[in-house]
Structure 1
Amino acid sequence: MTAQPYRTAIETFIAAHANPTHKFGHQPRLYALTQQIGAGLTYDDDVVFAAVWLHDLGVFIGHRPEDTEALKTWDHVAYVIEKAPAILKEAAFPEEKIPAVLEVIRTHQPQDTPATTEAIIARDADILEQLGAIGITRTLAKLGSDTRFCTFTEALHALKKQLATLPDQLRLETSKALATPRKKIMQSFIDSLEAEGGENLF
């Protein structure tokens, strides 16, 4: 089936703005996960598509603050909610669906409580992206470019926290099943990193 022109327009917009470049891959992976999670459920795929492609705009360089202190308190979700309507209208996305897209973006983080099926699917997918080999890769890619951690030890602590807290926050049974192999991969990596690095990991 041919993609709707507005989908292509949204993808093209994110491709042009994703900086660092490796952040682009999160969006197509996340959308693919939503399709796995949402199989058999009734929901608006347009809404999920637009939300997962736009949800991280505020973490891209050029959209987030350059000042280190300002970045520590930066609300990237509020930024996206402010910018998304104009982006979606420019892409000729159905205007009547924009409020639903904003709701998904507003509640896509683990600490949020999604109220719509679309938001639950997107949030579960975003949690899964923080687990397994992809979760490890994304975390380590932030070393040196993220205010949250600058050393391998700090990244290790972040991985441990992700593994300890995120799986229990998944809402759907399909998501929980997809998390099982990812948890095993992450635990194995953490164990190996601690064994190899020991007290000299830094």
Structure 2
Amino acid sequence: MSAAFAPFAALAETLLPHAVEGDDGAHDIAHLLRVFHNAQKIASEEGGDAEVLAAAVLLHDCVSLPKNHPDRAHSSRLAADKAAGLLTTLGWDAAKVEAVAHAILTHSFSANLQPQTLEAKILQDADRLDSLGAIGIARTFYTAARMGSKLYHLGDPQGHARDLDDRAYAIDHFALKLLKLADGFQTASGRRLAADRHQRLSDFRDLFFDEL
């Protein structure tokens, strides 16, 4: 599998054993590979330190608490700390360790932190792309099933007269998070890639309610 992360196959071979926790299919090695490809596309236009970005992608979910965990918002900080310790043990330069840790710390939507470096901005965009489009739809309903959520509120599916709750109803996640993501992309390349995927989300939500 590490070969799929070329030209950083050797780095991937070292870091992948530490890269994911548990059995969450929305945050597995396949997710890391999709984010890596997204990051490569963005970086090909935006630039940045390729090695820092690759390490940040590989380790950005090395601690990933479930969506319904009370400490979910702290996942990225815990992952950043774990990544920094690992890279320091591997002999990485302190400045590069800090760059990787910052990118991981700020990538998360729930952490609500602003990325300050180009690599951090690219990681955030690359990760959020995987929450949009057809993959984003699949991940949403997969995660909802793991949490025991219903598809939608029977009496008020669109939330006209109730508070939206994406822990209880999968479709609520579209309005609460997914359809907001495209407005927060950090790079021009990321925004362009997000536009089509955002439209796919919007179209799916409209079709969903139309069928109801």
After TM superposition, the score normalised by the length of structure 1 is 0.81
The equivalent of 1:102 in structure 2 is: 101
After TM superposition, the score normalised by the length of structure 2 is 0.77
Q: 1:20 aligns with which of 24, 27, 30?
A: 24
The equivalent of 1:56 in structure 2 is: 61
**Residue 88 of structure 1 contacts residue 98 of structure 1 at CA under 8 Å; is this kept in 2?**
yes
CA distance in structure 2 between the aligned counterparts of 1:127 and 1:140, rounded to whole angstroms = 16
Alignment of 1:174-193 (within 5 A): 174-193=189-208
Alignment of 1:28-177 (within 5 A): 28-59=33-64, 64=65, 71-74=69-72, 75-90=74-89, 92=90, 94-96=92-94, 97-110=96-109, 111-146=112-147, 150-153=149-152, 154-177=169-192
**Sequence identity percentage:** 26
Unpaired stretches in structure 1, ≥5 consecutive residues: none
Structure 1 runs, 4 residues or longer, greater than 3 Å off: 1-4
User: Alpha-carbon deviation of 1:93?
Assistant: 6.0
The higher-RCO structure (CA 8 Å, 6+ apart) is: 1
Q: Deviations over 1:168-194 (max 9, x none)?
A: 101211111111221221112111211
Amino acid at match of 1:38: A
Count of matched residue positions in the alignment of Structure 1 and Structure 2: 185
CA distance in structure 2 between the aligned counterparts of 1:93 and 1:191, rounded to whole angstroms = 51
* Greater mean alpha carbon deviation, residues 163-172 or residues 111-120: 163-172
**Residue 131 of structure 1 contacts residue 163 of structure 1 at CA under 8 Å; is this kept in 2?**
yes
Amino acid at match of 2:170: A
| Higher helix fraction (1 or 2) | 1
